[in-house]
Structure 1
Amino acid sequence: MTIPDSTTAAHPLFAQALRELGLDVEVRRFPDATRTAAEAAAAIGCELSQIVKSLVFEADGEPVLVLMDGASRVDTERVRAELGAEAVRRADAGTVRQATGYAIGGVPPFGHRTKTRVLADRGLLAHDTVWAAAGTPHTVFPMEPATLIRHAGGTPADVRERSA
């Protein structure tokens, strides 16, 4: 069940980013957490691949945000090659919160505390609409993928794991 709400449902930091960008998006709040892509897709009633995961990695010690569809996994070797980094690893919860201002499970694709490099997997562009976290594990918002990537300052890249 969705609780109708406006951007006031979003995390205050994300709501501020929406205002600064002049964006009027529908933020949906759910009574149960949508921390995982599968939980979000079930709550929204969309395909798993329409969920945007905002994942933070460390490339040579610097935070990097990777936007990936909910049905796919990030290939860290492809991220490393794309960035020209020596090493890439998943960031820990403290690094995620410090870099973005949000906890894992609610990280939106933009509106972060600090500016980081953003890679967006090209697979997101296969959809008319995608859904991303609005700063909390209970909130999501829809957006056209190219617009979302632009607001995130993302560079389209092929960083998903290839199927065997």
Structure 2
Amino acid sequence: MPLERVKSFLKSFPDLKIILFDQSTHTSELAAEALGVKPAQIAKTLVFLADGQPLLVVTCGDKKINTKKLTKLLGVKKVRFADGETVAESTGFPPGGVSPIGLLKEIPLYLDQSLWDFEIVYAAAGTANSALPVSPDRLCEITKAKVIDVCC
């Protein structure tokens, strides 16, 4: 179960707690409404294929990824969004609930610098009705992600 994987990962980090909602939070707007914050404060986790290999980029909920910038930064020929089936296969999470932690397998993870506009951001915790409040520094620390600048 996706939520259980996230909870299991968080056992090593007792300072971090998941919030569960009665309603869906599968978009940045819905999550922001449920939490009473701006959509920008939602840390959306997007799955891309870079030359066919999956990777994750976490950015603010109101930002768009500049795929040309991402392609250049990664030094690959082509970057595109992954389809729903690839998202689930690569991460073990459904689209709309992809968490940057508790992944099924290790895949490259990048945090966009826009996350540091906030003290706390809210990442999905494996379901379309969960959130993990976390500082960008802490998220970077626990995921061992690389910080990049790829938003337009």
In structure 1, which of residues 4, 12, 16 is the aligned counterpart of residue 8 of structure 2? 16
Matches of residues 19-30 of structure 1 in structure 2 within 5 Å?
Answer: 19=11, 21-30=12-21
1:13 partner SS: helix
Aligned residue identity for 2:49: E
TM-score, with structure 2 as normaliser = 0.95
> TM-score when scaled to structure 1?
0.88
- Does 2:148 match 1:148? no
Q: Which runs of 5+ in 2 are unaligned?
A: none
Alignment partner, residue 83 of structure 2: 92
- 1:58-102 Cα deviation digits (max 9, x unpaired): 000100100010011111111111111110000011111111110
RMSD: 1.2
* 1:70 aligns with one of 57, 61, 74: 61
Aligned length: 151
What percent identity do the matched residue pairs reach?
34
Residue 110 of structure 1 aligns to a residue whose secondary structure is coil
5+ residue gaps, structure 1: 1-9
Deviation at 1:118, TM superposition (A): 1.2
User: What letter is aligned with 2:108?
Assistant: R
